[in-house]
Amino acid sequence: MSEKPSNRDEQGKFKPGMSGNPLGRPKNTLKDYVRQMFVEMSEAEKKDWLKKQKISGIDMWKMGEGLPKADIEHSGEVTSKIISVDE
């Protein structure tokens, strides 16, 4: 039995030029529908919709700007500085 070729290297990372989603982003999703619906609304309709849905200010910001990027690397190293105050 031959082994199926993998798009990942020995460490599990994608090989250069290979994708984890070769078919691309799905089309006609609920997100696409809601985005189009919102684009077609008047300013008054948008304000009314947001109020009726009880969308918080932070959620409105996330809807407009997206979530903050979360690509921080963590080393697991903990460092601290101890300050001593002598009387």
Q: Which DSSP string do the residues of 36-83 spell out, in sequence order?
A: HHHHHS-HHHHHHHHHHTT--HHHHHHHHH-PPP--------------
pLDDT score, position 85: 72
Q: How far apart are CA 26 and CA 55, in angstroms?
A: 26
Residues counted in the chain: 87
Q: Would the pTM of this model clear 0.95, i.e. be above it?
A: no
Position 42 confidence tier, pLDDT thresholds 50, 70, 90: very high
Q: Is 30 helix (H, G, I), strand (E, B) or coil?
A: helix
